Amino acid sequence: MSEKRVLIIGATGMVGGCALNICLEDPDVSRVTIVGRRGTGIEHNRLHEIPHDNFMDYSGIASSLGSHDVALYCLGAYTGAVPDDEFRRITVDYTLAFATALYQESPRTAFCFLSGQGADQTGQSRMAFARYKGAAEKGLLEIGFSRVHIFRPGYIYPVTPRAEPNLVYRITRMLYPVLRRVYPNIGVSSEDLARAMVHIGLHGYEGHESPILENREIRLCTK
């Protein structure tokens, strides 16, 4: 197959960082462009980093967004880590601002969005996380990309050490290796999730017509 150009938003985060490493190791990927506030600290001849700190306005770097085959959108915030209005802005407004800017420059890009289990596109859920992720999903599907893949993982198990955001995450991380044997679809590792996003972005998901991939489909893709 022809070599592909991949664009990553959120490449310094848990899932985005895994996706970046996977892309740099993939011979089918000719170039990886990342856009973000912080640099990765990685030097690689196929990596191009664009410093950018305004996630509502991409006009200054619009020309750099063109001609990408795949976009992996991994930017997000933990529930409860920021005030509700900021959480909505990060989850919905940032996502749609980037997607709209990208579509204007590269409408044939396959857009892969990191959503979450329980996302509700109807907006009726009592959970802010579900409503906001659902609003972002709905907006993405209305933009017009030829391919949109929405990933709805359950708990994301970090494969590298990190400071957990709260007690619930610390407890879940400790219990996950046991829980997944009983409830295999309770979650997925950050590396497997990233690998699924990269693979489906590059190759699609044959036989899966829905743009939405729940935790089970994500896990099956990595086997």
* pLDDT at 8 (0 to 100): 98
Q: What is the pLDDT of residues 11-69, one digit of tens each?
A: 999 999 999 999 999 999 999 999 999 999 999 999 999 999 999 999 999 999 999 99
* pLDDT at 221 (0 to 100): 86
Residue 163 is inside which H or E element, if any?
none
Range of weakest confidence among 74-83, 127-136, 147-156, 195-204: 74-83
For the chain, which residues make up each domain, given as ranges?
Answer: 4-155+188-221
Share of the chain residues as helix, strand and coil, in percent rounded to the nearest 5: 45, 20, 35
Q: Is 150 left (phi over 0), alpha (psi -120 to 50) or beta?
A: beta
Q: Which of 157-171, 182-196, 200-214 is predicted most confidently? A: 200-214
Total count of residues recorded for the chain: 223
* pLDDT at 145 (0 to 100): 97
pLDDT at residue 90 is higher than 60: yes
Query: β-pairing, 212-214 with 187-189?
Result: unpaired
Query: What is the value of pTM for the model shown?
Result: 0.92
* pLDDT at 162 (0 to 100): 66
pLDDT at residue 165 is higher than 80: no
* pLDDT at 167 (0 to 100): 66
* pLDDT at 164 (0 to 100): 64
CATH of 4-155+188-221, one of 3.90.1150.10, 3.30.1330.60, 3.40.50.720, 3.40.50.300: 3.40.50.720
Q: How many CB atoms lie within 10 A of CB 123?
A: 11
Range of weakest confidence among 87-91, 100-104, 195-199, 217-221: 217-221
Residue 115's identity, in one-letter code, is S
Asked if residue 93 lies in contact with residue 115, where contact means CB atoms within 8 angstroms, the answer is no
